[in-house]
């Protein structure tokens, strides 16, 4: 049966995850290449690939999926919704996800999902607001290098 599961990031991003990413990225960084400059320019994309592959491996592991049995490996979709998408387009994002999932899961699961995702969106908005207020407070105190006034000297 198809289902929607909520997984906490603290269950995936554990010390073992970081060590795995470091080891994989170290190999990518040191790859022998005829075009080292191009290789270095592409490192951000390669790091993203390493992060995505490692995260998916850890997610499947946390779900007790046997990676050796290809028939047992389910389709897994990870939604990451944050920042501006939540503050200005949250309803549109939720509507889009609802339509996407409606065709693939049952009504009961969809209802459960909607409650969970709505709660998470509300929490994320609250945290984003707190972070913005914290950044603004730092800026007003002069503690932030990201904000400055035209009449202030940073010397």
Establish if 121 belongs to a structural domain.
Answer: yes
Among 28, 55, 78, identify where a domain stops. 78
> Quick check: 49 pLDDT over 70?
yes
Q: Is residue 73 domain-shared with residue 101, that is, in the same domain?
A: no
Rounded average pLDDT over 68-79: 78
Establish if 16 belongs to a structural domain.
Answer: yes
Among 47, 78, 109, identify where a domain stops. 78
> Quick check: 151 pLDDT over 70?
no
Rounded average pLDDT over 131-139: 78
46 pLDDT band, cuts 50/70/90, is: very high
Q: Is residue 107 domain-shared with residue 56, that is, in the same domain?
A: no
Distance CA 108, CA 14 (A): 32
Q: Is residue 68 domain-shared with residue 125, that is, in the same domain?
A: no
- pLDDT tens for residues 31-45? 999 999 999 999 999
Establish if 148 belongs to a structural domain.
Answer: no
Work out how many domains the chain is built from and give that number.
Answer: 2
Establish if 149 belongs to a structural domain.
Answer: no
Mean pLDDT of the chain, nearest integer: 81
Q: Is residue 11 domain-shared with residue 72, that is, in the same domain?
A: yes
Among 58, 78, 98, identify where a domain stops. 78
Distance CA 117, CA 109 (A): 12
Q: Is residue 71 domain-shared with residue 86, that is, in the same domain?
A: no
Distance CA 50, CA 121 (A): 27
Tell me what pLDDT residue 116 has.
80
> Quick check: 87 pLDDT over 70?
no
> Quick check: 123 pLDDT over 90?
no
Residue range of the domain that includes 32: 1-78
Is residue 116 within 8 A of residue 77, CB to CB? The reply is no
Rounded average pLDDT over 104-124: 78
């Amino acid at each position: 049966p198809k289902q929607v599961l909520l997984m906490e990031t603290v269950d995936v991003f554990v010390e073992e995850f970081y060590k795995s990413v470091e080891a994989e990225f170290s190999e990518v960084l040191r790859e022998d290449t005829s075009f080292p400059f191009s290789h270095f320019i592409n490192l951000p994309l390669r790091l993203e690939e390493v992060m995505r592959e490692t995260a998916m491996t850890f997610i499947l592991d946390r779900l007790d999926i046997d990676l050796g049995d290809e028939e047992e490996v389910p389709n897994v979709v990870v939604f990451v919704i944050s920042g501006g998408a939540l503050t200005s387009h949250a309803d549109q994002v939720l509507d889009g996800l609802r339509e996407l999932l409606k065709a693939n899961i049952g009504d009961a699961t969809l209802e459960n999902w909607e409650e969970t995702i709505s709660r998470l969106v509300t929490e994320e908005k609250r945290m984003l607001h707190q972070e913005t207020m914290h950044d603004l407070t730092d800026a007003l105190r002069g503690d932030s290098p990201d904000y400055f006034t035209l009449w202030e000297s940073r010397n």
